[in-house]
Structure 1
Amino acid sequence: MTGRMRHLAAALTGLGLGLAAVGPGLAPGFVLSYDMVFVPDPTFSRMTFGLTGVMPRHVPSDAFVTALSTVMPADLAQKLILLAIFVMACSAAASLVPSQRLIPRLAAGVCYAWNPFVAERLLLGQWALLLGYAALPWVVAAAMKGDGRRLVIALIPAATGGFAALAVSGLTAVVITLCGPRRADALKVIGAVGALSLPWLVPAFLRPGGVPGDGAAVETFAARADTPFGALGSLFTLGGVWNGETVPSGYGTPVVAVLWLLVVVGALIAYGKYGRDRALPIAAAVGFAIAALGTVPGLLKGLIDIWSGFSVVRDGQQFVAPLAVLVAVGLGLAADRLIEARLGFVAACAVAVPVILLPTLAWGAAGALRAVDYPDDWARARKIIAADSVPGDVAVAPWAAYRSYPWNHGRRVLDPLQRYLPRRVIINDAVTVGTTTVAAEDPRAVALDPIMRAPTAEALAHEGIRYVAVDAGDAAVPGAEEAYRGRDLVLYRISGTSAVPEKKVPVAPVVTAWIVAVAVIFWSFLASGPTLVPQLLGRNSSRRRTP
């Protein structure tokens, strides 16, 4: 089989995994789950680029989705992105295996695209993080080779995903560079990662209040046990997400956990015996250490108290991504040696093991991820607000960040009205997990908090609120005019709204940040010569360093 056919086989396998995983989410409509928020006909706004008081965690991923939705329906754009994650993940991991045989490559690709990390992050709706995760093996290959332009190209999916994706991929690239023969290039790698981070980094540091550093968030987002092996054991087996509601059903039972642990240990032993490059294991170890920080009482909280920038690692489990690369490549190496030992059937079983041990990722995580349509009431409310020339913002009740709408089968989702309505929408962005509440970050939400607990039209008008969107059946707003009432939503209009000066992120530095980031990407393409497709497919992979 030629190299081109092997790459195609890996991509098609990834597509098959994606179709199996997304399942009912491929039907017309939108998949809405926790942080996965796509809306029909999104438009560019100040929020899209992080110019409001909200932390720009959605930058530049929202801009990417909005741009893509200008050339195709937004729900189709979502499905293509989700499928692309699986195609890239399988193809990228397969390209790292130093073998001309197809089965070892597919074993690595399937393992990387179908594991507890992917399942839990998909259920958590973090498609932007998974976009960077999918391309991480390409980042590893570029960093090993010391090719700066190729590295920038490989980092584009992570840069599109935003701060979490780029933090994981950037850290991995820096560690591998420092451990390789081109240590002097580490500053260049840091510079490239920094340049690609500017679209979210600049608005984050220029927002009112700067980067928040709530120590209470450490306990909330620390890795948790989802197997019998405790938090550290769960991280070691590529699980351990902080949100217990996003653990796939059936995962973590003693039998499955032990079998998956054996796969991970066997893959790591195989890499230790047959893998030549030692930079990837070091990157995996560093990532695991960061993932474990939150499990050490008081350690990460103390670091955040010293400098709020350490908040970027409070959701530590995402940093086990390089360990997932190591496990996948190790499984591929093990399959390759099994074939050499004339145990081809056992090697073929290695391809199917991840799917067998995690069957509930299939069919939209056992039906958890289903496509839904937004209610007609939302579209009518949007038209009313769009036609109103009186300035003012929109507040949302109930006063909470995550909602469980009946029309979304009760599944929690970050309030989509922020992206759905054509005005600044203010929600209570404080997050409560168990008995712990992470303080609100949006200054407008902080100011509105006491008012929204017992809202009146007069108080809201004084705070610059023109409309209040309320779930049908929720409490009315005394003194407000009912602009629309439907089965799923009630819209109240408030008269006499006062203009409220709001501290916003200055536009000029953000525009400059985007220009620099885009210029770096164009430089990488123009200087490299070849198109992105051969680069991503791993063409000429026989000349790269062997992992």
Structure 2
Amino acid sequence: MLTLAVTAPLLGPGYLLLRDAVSTPRSYLTDAALGLTQAAPRALPQDVAVAFASSVVDGGVLVKAVLILGLWLAGWGAAHLVTSVLPEAGLPGQCVAATVALWNPYVAERLLQGHWSLLVGYGALPWVAAAVLSLRSAGSGVGALAFWLAVAGLTPTGLMMAAAIALACVAAPGAGRPRWFCAALTLAGSTTAALPWLVASALGWSPGVDQAPAVAAFAARAEPGLGTLGSLAGLAGIWNADAVPATRTTLFAVVATAVLLAGVAAGLPVLFRRRAARPLLVVALAAVLIPALMATGPGLTAVEALLDAAPGLGVIRDGQKWVALAVPAYALAGAAATITLRPRVPALATAAVCCAAVIATLPDLAWGVGGRVHPVQYPPAWREAAAIINADPSPVAVLPVDSMRRFPWAGTAPVLDPLPRWLRAEVLTTGDLSIGGRVVPGEGAQAREVQALLLAGADQTRLADAGVGWVVVEGAGGAEGGGATLRLPVAFRSDELTVYRVGGSSSASSHRGAALAAHGVWFLQLCAGLAAMMLSRRRTRPAEVATPAR
């Protein structure tokens, strides 16, 4: 019910197109989708999975279904974790845990930012914790851990969060599998699930962009009356002030945070006595404190130095997203509150009050965060233009030069250019982002050179020599784009965009086989883990499942 209350607008026809969320009718296995370009492979194996699946299912339906599934898994997983750690909390405790996991500012802000695949990894976190705790207590859960690590591994960030939760839970007491076995299994499963982006980084990525401008731009943000630490403790504080529910932009955010933390604090005494839960409590504390420190002056300097020494760690720049690691402990603490208050208040009454309070203090999460998360329809011209280019998939240059777009038919929020995910051809993009008037440079050096040629009025021959096959200008009329006057043959023109034929070409990467093999390993882990988990559940009756040591 909570998942449907949040995602109901997505049940309608259309495509999710909001900031970083870009869904198209069909995606393809381009070099960019495989991570074999200069850009860091931040969306693997997500892009490859969507490319394969969208050949069978419409990409818009696919992305919306996966997003809804991810949120549903977060709530169900939180309730499942309660049965492992606090079985006496019963259904009231499970309801509170599910509400805390689903109805919080983190979910709202990541929805508004368009991080649909990150929310899938978020939904896998309680399942990963329960799998490791089962390994430590009863010795079962090898297949479950492999499966949920692969699910979280839809993006690098999701996998890193899942691995952190799993390694922390290895410290839990138990008479099942030894700690060394659980740690080794976690590291092995995390490594195989990470192969898509590890291999792509080794074969295609060329680090060399200054990370310093991005560090300050992506630091956690303080909400009114709370400060950075208070915002993070309330599971809020995303860097983008525009991707925030309206209720978190006023002093009402203080009330909402106080209500959430009061429920968590009420359950801490009971939860702390459960030795199996203590590792998750430590992770939660670190997940709030470390991003808060990263947002300070010395913290920004330290992060910049770290990224200069290891550019591959650029994924840590968005400090607030790591606060998701606190949610399993928060959910358990909310469930434990029903136990704490049970001598004075019936558990059902406590659960009802807690759930109602959490929902009431974030009312605009309902209906797609107040209607801001909804599907849109592409104009017919986009399909026609895509069909023309896909018939001759040569590299595409795009104007205007910005990575983010604002389309009248897609709402008021900016969105990443959909063309790279719609075309069979490679789309040359710089990856540059403009945040608060500050430009955060991307890794697309070739695209930057081509865009300079376009803006300088280069002729067809020079553009073809640079490897450009098509030029697409997005916007009204399409004759002018970003200050460039183009004298090129027109292949298609409409009010939404214009396609120019240039005639250049380039060869595909020679590493596609290795990249596909790495994705095959991830997919094999996903399928084998699911099969092993389902087989284990068929063999094990619910009454035989042991609970972790207290």
TM-score by length of 2: 0.88
Aligned with 1:235 (options 229, 232, 238): 232
SS of the residue corresponding to residue 415 of structure 2 reads: strand
* Cα distance change of structure 1 residues 232 and 193 upon mapping to structure 2, 3 Å threshold: same
Structure 1, 358-367 or 440-449: larger mean CA deviation: 440-449
Are 2:180 and 1:184 equivalent residues in the alignment?
yes
**Deviation at residue 500 of structure 1 after TM alignment:** 5.0
Q: Find the aligned partners of 2:8 and 2:338 in 1 and give their Cα distance.
A: 29
- Residue 166 of structure 2 is matched in structure 1 by 173
- Residue 302 of structure 1 is matched in structure 2 by 305
* Cα distance change of structure 1 residues 176 and 335 upon mapping to structure 2, 3 Å threshold: same
- Residue 432 of structure 1 is matched in structure 2 by 434
* Cα distance change of structure 1 residues 272 and 215 upon mapping to structure 2, 3 Å threshold: farther
Q: Find the aligned partners of 1:180 and 1:293 in 2 and give their Cα distance.
A: 31
Instruction: Specify the code of the residue in structure 1 equivalent to 2:165.
Output: T
Are 2:114 and 1:125 equivalent residues in the alignment?
yes
Structure 1, 29-38 or 223-232: larger mean CA deviation: 223-232
Q: Find the aligned partners of 2:537 and 2:210 in 1 and give their Cα distance.
A: 38
Q: Find the aligned partners of 2:67 and 2:522 in 1 and give their Cα distance.
A: 24
Tell me if the contact between 1:94 and 1:108 (Cα under 8 Å) persists in the aligned partners.
yes
Tell me if the contact between 2:173 and 2:549 (Cα under 8 Å) persists in the aligned partners.
no
Are 2:216 and 1:219 equivalent residues in the alignment?
yes
Tell me if the contact between 2:38 and 2:444 (Cα under 8 Å) persists in the aligned partners.
yes
**Deviation at residue 155 of structure 1 after TM alignment:** 1.7
- Residue 398 of structure 2 is matched in structure 1 by 396
Instruction: Specify the code of the residue in structure 2 equivalent to 1:294.
Output: M
Provide the aligned C-alpha RMSD in A: 2.6
Instruction: Specify the code of the residue in structure 1 equivalent to 2:351.
Output: A
- Residue 40 of structure 2 is matched in structure 1 by 55
Tell me if the contact between 1:381 and 1:491 (Cα under 8 Å) persists in the aligned partners.
yes
Are 2:149 and 1:155 equivalent residues in the alignment?
yes
Are 2:13 and 1:28 equivalent residues in the alignment?
yes
Are 2:514 and 1:509 equivalent residues in the alignment?
yes
Structure 1, 424-433 or 445-454: larger mean CA deviation: 445-454
Residue by residue, what CA displacement relative to the aligned partner does 1:133-156 show, whole Å, maximum 9, x if unpaired? 011001111222334432112223
- Residue 99 of structure 1 is matched in structure 2 by 87
Aligned with 2:463 (options 460, 463, 475): 460
* Cα distance change of structure 1 residues 49 and 350 upon mapping to structure 2, 3 Å threshold: same
Aligned with 1:543 (options 536, 546, 549): 546
* Cα distance change of structure 1 residues 250 and 423 upon mapping to structure 2, 3 Å threshold: same
- Residue 479 of structure 1 is matched in structure 2 by 487
Tell me if the contact between 1:107 and 1:332 (Cα under 8 Å) persists in the aligned partners.
yes
Instruction: Specify the code of the residue in structure 2 equivalent to 1:309.
Output: G
Tell me if the contact between 1:401 and 1:431 (Cα under 8 Å) persists in the aligned partners.
yes
Q: Find the aligned partners of 1:68 and 1:47 in 2 and give their Cα distance.
A: 17
Structure 1, 422-431 or 186-195: larger mean CA deviation: 186-195
Instruction: Specify the code of the residue in structure 1 equivalent to 2:185.
Output: K
Residue by residue, what CA displacement relative to the aligned partner does 1:347-375 show, whole Å, maximum 9, x if unpaired? 31112222111111111211211211111
Structure 1, 122-131 or 512-521: larger mean CA deviation: 512-521
* Cα distance change of structure 1 residues 494 and 512 upon mapping to structure 2, 3 Å threshold: closer
Instruction: Specify the code of the residue in structure 2 equivalent to 1:63.
Output: V
- Residue 142 of structure 1 is matched in structure 2 by 131
Instruction: Specify the code of the residue in structure 1 equivalent to 2:413.
Output: R
Tell me, which stretches of 5 or more residues in structure 2 are unaligned? 136-140
Structure 1, 73-82 or 446-455: larger mean CA deviation: 446-455
Tell me if the contact between 2:430 and 2:445 (Cα under 8 Å) persists in the aligned partners.
no
**Deviation at residue 317 of structure 1 after TM alignment:** 1.0
Tell me if the contact between 1:53 and 1:505 (Cα under 8 Å) persists in the aligned partners.
no
- Residue 67 of structure 1 is matched in structure 2 by 52
* Cα distance change of structure 1 residues 65 and 387 upon mapping to structure 2, 3 Å threshold: closer
Q: Find the aligned partners of 1:321 and 1:174 in 2 and give their Cα distance.
A: 16
Q: Find the aligned partners of 1:179 and 1:545 in 2 and give their Cα distance.
A: 8
Tell me if the contact between 1:103 and 1:336 (Cα under 8 Å) persists in the aligned partners.
no
- Residue 82 of structure 1 is matched in structure 2 by 67
Q: Find the aligned partners of 1:173 and 1:162 in 2 and give their Cα distance.
A: 17
Are 2:26 and 1:41 equivalent residues in the alignment?
yes
Are 2:105 and 1:116 equivalent residues in the alignment?
yes
**% identical aligned pairs:** 31
Q: Find the aligned partners of 1:454 and 1:410 in 2 and give their Cα distance.
A: 31
Q: Which 4+ residue blocks in structure 1 deviate beyond 6 angstroms?
A: 531-535
- Residue 323 of structure 2 is matched in structure 1 by 320
Structure 1, 112-121 or 191-200: larger mean CA deviation: 191-200
SS of the residue corresponding to residue 437 of structure 1 reads: strand
* Cα distance change of structure 1 residues 396 and 264 upon mapping to structure 2, 3 Å threshold: same
**Deviation at residue 315 of structure 1 after TM alignment:** 0.9
Residue by residue, what CA displacement relative to the aligned partner does 1:299-344 show, whole Å, maximum 9, x if unpaired? 1111111222332211111111121221111111102333443344
Instruction: Specify the code of the residue in structure 1 equivalent to 2:41.
Output: P
SS of the residue corresponding to residue 243 of structure 1 reads: coil
Q: Find the aligned partners of 2:350 and 2:230 in 1 and give their Cα distance.
A: 26
Tell me if the contact between 2:172 and 2:279 (Cα under 8 Å) persists in the aligned partners.
yes
- Residue 490 of structure 1 is matched in structure 2 by 498
**Deviation at residue 208 of structure 1 after TM alignment:** 4.1
Q: Find the aligned partners of 2:81 and 2:242 in 1 and give their Cα distance.
A: 33
Tell me if the contact between 2:394 and 2:470 (Cα under 8 Å) persists in the aligned partners.
yes
Tell me, which stretches of 5 or more residues in structure 1 are unaligned? 1-15
SS of the residue corresponding to residue 87 of structure 2 reads: coil
Tell me if the contact between 1:50 and 1:203 (Cα under 8 Å) persists in the aligned partners.
yes
* Cα distance change of structure 1 residues 54 and 28 upon mapping to structure 2, 3 Å threshold: same
Length, aligned pairs only: 524
Q: Find the aligned partners of 1:427 and 1:130 in 2 and give their Cα distance.
A: 26
Instruction: Specify the code of the residue in structure 2 equivalent to 1:31.
Output: L
Instruction: Specify the code of the residue in structure 2 equivalent to 1:511.
Output: L
* Cα distance change of structure 1 residues 453 and 478 upon mapping to structure 2, 3 Å threshold: closer
Instruction: Specify the code of the residue in structure 2 equivalent to 1:93.
Output: A
SS of the residue corresponding to residue 118 of structure 1 reads: helix
Structure 1, 113-122 or 473-482: larger mean CA deviation: 473-482
Q: Find the aligned partners of 1:529 and 1:369 in 2 and give their Cα distance.
A: 34
Tell me if the contact between 2:36 and 2:203 (Cα under 8 Å) persists in the aligned partners.
no
Tell me if the contact between 2:15 and 2:376 (Cα under 8 Å) persists in the aligned partners.
yes
Q: Find the aligned partners of 2:9 and 2:528 in 1 and give their Cα distance.
A: 40
SS of the residue corresponding to residue 492 of structure 2 reads: strand
Q: Find the aligned partners of 1:345 and 1:144 in 2 and give their Cα distance.
A: 29
Tell me if the contact between 1:206 and 1:505 (Cα under 8 Å) persists in the aligned partners.
no
Tell me if the contact between 1:33 and 1:124 (Cα under 8 Å) persists in the aligned partners.
yes
SS of the residue corresponding to residue 445 of structure 1 reads: helix
Are 2:519 and 1:530 equivalent residues in the alignment?
no
Structure 1, 35-44 or 254-263: larger mean CA deviation: 254-263
SS of the residue corresponding to residue 491 of structure 1 reads: strand
Q: Find the aligned partners of 1:29 and 1:204 in 2 and give their Cα distance.
A: 34
Instruction: Specify the code of the residue in structure 1 equivalent to 2:93.
Output: P
Q: What are the residue-to-residue correspondences of 1:283-294 with 2, within 5 Å?
A: 283-294=283-294
SS of the residue corresponding to residue 33 of structure 2 reads: helix
* Cα distance change of structure 1 residues 321 and 268 upon mapping to structure 2, 3 Å threshold: farther
Tell me if the contact between 2:266 and 2:340 (Cα under 8 Å) persists in the aligned partners.
no
Structure 1, 142-151 or 363-372: larger mean CA deviation: 142-151
Instruction: Specify the code of the residue in structure 2 equivalent to 1:215.
Output: A
- Residue 138 of structure 2 is matched in structure 1 by none
- Residue 12 of structure 1 is matched in structure 2 by none
* Cα distance change of structure 1 residues 360 and 452 upon mapping to structure 2, 3 Å threshold: farther
